[in-house]
Structure 1
Amino acid sequence: MESVAESIIQRAIDKEKKEQYTMALVLYQEGLQMLIDAIKELKDPVRKVSFQNNAKEYMERAERVKALIEKKKLSGKYREHIKIESNATGYGYSSVFGRFLDGRVTQICVEEPYIRTYHQCQNFLRFCELAVQKCQSLSKISLTTTSEKNKKSEQLEWLEQLKTSLADHLVTLDVQFSETLHDRQISLNNGWIIKIGRGLDYFKPPFSKFVLGYFDLELRPCLETKVDIFHQSQIEDNKK
C-alpha cells in the first residue's frame, strides 16, 4: 500500500507541475488516504513519524492546489489543458472529466455533432451512465447533434431508447438537431466546461470483441486529441 500511495502522490506532483490542478488534487486526495491508512498499520515508530511528516507535506500541497483552483475559478481565469497522445491509455471519460461531475450538477448540455452511428451513440450512452452515477441531483441532459442521413431512423431509435432509460432514473433527455453544428463542448451547470477536439469519439476501434478496452475505455488506446477545461462563474443556460 505504501508504494502504491507514493506512486499516486508522484503522479499528483507531475500533474501539478503541468498545471493540471484538478487532476492533481484528486490524486493528492487519493494518495493521502492510502498513506493515512498505511500509517495506521505501521508498527515501527521511526517509520511512522517519517510517513506522518510526508503526509503533512502532501496535505499542505493539496491545500495549496485547492486554494489555487478556487482563486482562479472566482476570477474566471481557470484553464486546464490535456494533450492525449496517439495510442495512449488511461483516458476514459471518468479520468478525463469525471472529477467535475458531482452532486451540484443538475443539468448538462452536450454539443457533439457526431452522435450518429452505433458506436458514437454508445459513447454518448457511456457518458450518460457516468453522469447518472456521479451527479446525484441530475435532472436533465441536453444533446445537440447532427442527423445521420443514411440511417436516421436507427439513430432516432437508439436515442429514444436512451431517453426512456434515463427517464427511469428521473433524468430528462432533450435532443436537438443542427446541421451546421461543428464545435464540441460539454457544459455543466456547476460552472465547468469541457472541450475535446474529437468530442466523445476519441478512442481507436478495438481489434476484436475480446481485447482489453472493448468495454473499459480506460484501457482503450486513444486517437490524438486535446482537451481544454475551464470554469466560469455563471453559464449562459441557453439550452433550457
Structure 2
Amino acid sequence: MCMKMGIAFLHVAFEYDAQKRNMEAVVCYTKAIDIFLEEIDGKCYNKDKKEKLLQQIEQYKHLVKKVETRMKTLRSCGNSVKEVHIKDDATGYTYDKLFGKYLNEDVKEILIEESYLREKHQLKNLVRFFELSIKSCPECRYIRVVTTKDPNPNSEQVAILNEIRTSLARRNVHLNIVFNNIHDRRIVLSNGYIIISGRGLDIYKKNDSNFGLGVCDYYYRQCKQTDITIMRSSGFT
C-alpha cells in the first residue's frame, strides 16, 4: 500500500513538473521519496532490489534539484518592466491597478514573501490580494506565503492564516504557510513576473472614518509613500 501511494505521488509530481508547477512538484517528489525510504527501512528487501530502489530514489532527488534550480532562477530578477512611485497620501492605487496586468491565466503558482503579516489590517491586505489573484488566475492552484512568526503568545496570526487557508481550499487552491526570519518583500508569479514593494502589501493608511470613501473601495484609500518595481524573472529574459 505504501509503495502504491509513493508511486501515485510520483506520477502527480511528473505531471506538475511538466506543467512547471514547481512548488507542487517538489512537494510531491519529496512525499514520494519519503514514502519509498520508509518502505525500504520497513521491509527486508534483498540486496539487489534494495540497491535498485535506492538508485531510483537518487534519480528522483536529482529531479527535485532540477526543479529547485528552476525555482531559484524564477525568483532571480532580470529586467525591470515598470516602476511605480507612490507619494504619501496619494489615492487611486488599488491592487488591481498595480498588479492586475500581471495576474492572468498563465499564473499557476504564487510565492509571497512578506516579512510582517501580524496585524489584522496586514492579513486583510493579504486576503484582498488573494481575492484579486483567484479571480484573475483561474489556473492557480498553489500559493506559498513566507513570513515571520509573531512571538506574541496571544497573537491571532496563526489562527487567521489557517482561516484564510480554509477559505482558499474551498476554491481548490492550496495555501502553504512557511514561517521564516525574512526581511525581503516580494511576490513571485510563475508566469515570470516579480513584484517588489518597499512596504510589501502594506501600502494603505488607516481610513479616517468608518463611513468615508475608501472603507470598501481602496481606489479612494490614501497610501503610504512607497516604491514598487515590476521585474521580469531572469528565467524569462
Q: Same fold (TM over 0.5)?
A: yes
Preserved contact between residue 143 and residue 173 of structure 1 (Cα < 8 Å):
yes
Q: Matches of 1:196 and 1:151 in 2, distance apart?
A: 29
**1:71-110 alignment, distance < 5 Å:** 76-110=78-112
Maintained 8 Å contact 1:145/1:178: yes
Q: Is this contact kept in 1: 2:80–2:229, CA < 8 A?
A: no
In 2: Cα distance, 1:77 partner to 1:175 partner: 29
Q: Identify the residue that residue 169 of structure 1 maps to in structure 2.
A: 171
Determine the C-alpha separation between the residues in 2 that align with 1:135 and 1:206: 29
Counterpart of 1:182? 183
Q: Distance in 1 between matches of 2:235 and 2:95?
A: 24
Whichever residue aligns with residue 188 of structure 1, its letter is L
Q: What is the RMSD computed on CA atoms of the aligned residues?
A: 1.4
TM-score under structure 2 length normalisation: 0.64
Q: Per-residue displacement from partner, 1:185-221 (whole Å, max 9, x unpaired)?
A: 0000000000011110011111122111112111100
Equivalent residue, structure 1, for 2:222: 221
- 1:137 offset after TM fit, Å? 0.5
SS at match of 1:234: helix
Gaps of 5+ in 2: 1-77
- How far has the Cα of 1:80 moved from its partner? 1.4
SS of equivalent residue, structure 1 residue 141? strand
Per-residue Cα deviation, 1:79-124 (whole angstroms, up to 9, x for no partner): 3111000111111110111110000101000000111111111010
Matched, 1:208 2:209: yes
SS of aligned partner of 2:79: coil
Match runs of 1:147-166 below 5 Å: 147-150=149-152, 153-166=155-168
Counterpart for residue 114 of structure 1: 116
Distance in structure 1 (CA, Å) of the matches to 2:167 and 2:79: 37
CA distance in 2, matches of 1:185, 1:152: 28
Q: Aligned residues: percent identity? A: 40
2:147 equivalent among 122, 145, 148: 145
Aligned counterparts, 1:7-26, within 5 A: none
The code of the aligned residue for 1:143 comes to V
2:116, 2:141 → 1: CA distance?
A: 23
Q: Shift in Å at residue 234 of structure 1?
A: 2.5
Paired with 2:99 and 2:193, the residues of 1 have a C-alpha distance of 10
Gaps of 5+ in 1: 1-75, 236-240
Map 1:32-51 onto structure 2 (within 5 A): none
Counterpart contact for 2:79–2:234, Cα < 8 Å: no
Once the two structures are TM-superposed, the CA of residue 233 in structure 1 deviates from its matched residue by: 5.3
Work out whether residues 117 and 148 of structure 1, in 8 Å CA contact, stay in contact via their aligned partners in 2: no
Give the letter aligned to residue 146 of structure 1: T
Secondary structure at the aligned position of 1:121 is classed as helix
Match for residue 233 of structure 2? 232
In the alignment, residue 125 of structure 1 is paired with which amino acid?
A: V
Any runs of at least 4 consecutive aligned residues in structure 1 with deviations exceeding 4 A, and if so which? Answer: none
Higher relative contact order (CA 8 A, sep 6+): 2
The 1:153–1:223 alpha-carbon spacing in structure 2 relative to 1, beyond 3 Å, is: closer
